[in-house]
Amino acid sequence: MSLIVTPPDSGERPIPFAELVDKVGAELPASLPKDLSKILVALDVDGTLLLPHGASPNVLETYRALVEAGANVVIASGRGIEAVRPVLGHLQTDRGWSVCSNGAVLVNWHPEVEDGVEVMKTHTFTPGHVIKTLLADMPDLYIGVETRKGFLLSEPFPRDVFFEETWVTPMETLHSTVTTRVVALSERMELEDFIDRLESLDLDGHCEYAVGWTSWVDIAPAGCTKATGLQDLADTLGIAPEATIAVGDGLNDIEMLEWAGHGVAMGSAIPQVRRAADATTGSVENDGAAALMRALLEWAK
């Protein structure tokens, strides 16, 4: 499937790319290493790296150049492994690190291993309590439980939202399946009402959750966020805290923007996300992530 699930157009005014590169470059911290091999750059996907049709020419060029220059460029996504795979296709690569499922899974992509991906670390939970709590308050929710190759579903979802295979499965099986992520979708509730209902539930200590730009929630094991997944990777690679950069636009990016030595919010980000960042760039329509990557390449000259 080639579908790219992206948020609505930001409506940001067009910004000349060179102007955006200069702005983002001026905001880079002086403590950032000039040696790009000592830097970790974490990039969100939807609303950050990819447009509805895929990667723009600027993203392709700067991503490739940054990787070739030795930087540790990481895809950090709420998507699972099989939904990140087409992202690599859009970036025209089959190598690299990815933090998947909002930090629950850390993988290393390289063609030398079976299926092209090596799972380095996973965090799991048994979702029965969380699913029961959700459905007791919102019985019309569609529920999906992530497996390595796809999703077990309570019933077919009303929209084509999965890159992976799906299987309709009895609810008791969903409750007992050890998983890295649960997703839930409401077709009836407005986003603000959906968020209010989630916040009213007894979920603290049982999981971490992040709401997207529709009434959809990703649920990960307790204590598991993009930030924890990136910290695992930074420890593995020996990257210093001040040499970490994260770029994102969504609520599930807040922890990694706060974690990074330099967090950059996309131009489309809501105020809550912007407050978590140290700087801002343009929207995905203005190649905000590519501007950051180009600024890093110029920084290292």
* CATH value at residue 167: 3.30.1240.10
Of 49-58, 270-279, 282-291, minimum mean pLDDT range = 49-58
**Which pLDDT tens digit goes with each residue over 64-106?**
999 999 999 999 999 999 999 999 999 999 999 999 999 999 9
Instruction: Give dist(CA 249, CA 231) in Å, integer.
Output: 19
Instruction: Give dist(CA 208, CA 10) in Å, integer.
Output: 27
Query: 132 and 183: one domain?
Result: yes
Domain-located, residue 31: yes
Is residue 157 within 8 Å of 141, Cβ to Cβ? no
- The pLDDT score that the predictor gives to residue 2 is 31
Domain-located, residue 10: no
Q: How many structural domains compose the chain?
A: 2
Domain of 30: which CATH number? 3.40.50.1000
Residue 52: pLDDT band (50, 70, 90) is confident
Domain hosting residue 170, numbered range = 128-221
Domain-located, residue 9: no
Task: Please name the residues in contact with 289: beta carbons below 8 A apart, sequence gap of 6 or more.
Answer: 43, 48, 49, 59, 247, 266, 281
Q: Which of 175, 205, 221 is the last residue of a domain?
A: 221
Does 11 have pLDDT greater than 90? Answer: no
Query: 119 and 27: one domain?
Result: yes
Query: 28 and 85: one domain?
Result: yes
CA 3 to chain centroid, in Å, comes to 16
CA 254 to chain centroid, in Å, comes to 11
Task: Please name the residues in contact with 267: beta carbons below 8 A apart, sequence gap of 6 or more.
Answer: 10, 12, 15, 280, 281, 282, 283, 286, 288
Q: Which of 202, 221, 240 is the last residue of a domain?
A: 221
- Per-residue tokens: 22: 């200069």
Q: Which of 186, 205, 221 is the last residue of a domain?
A: 221
Query: 139 and 28: one domain?
Result: no
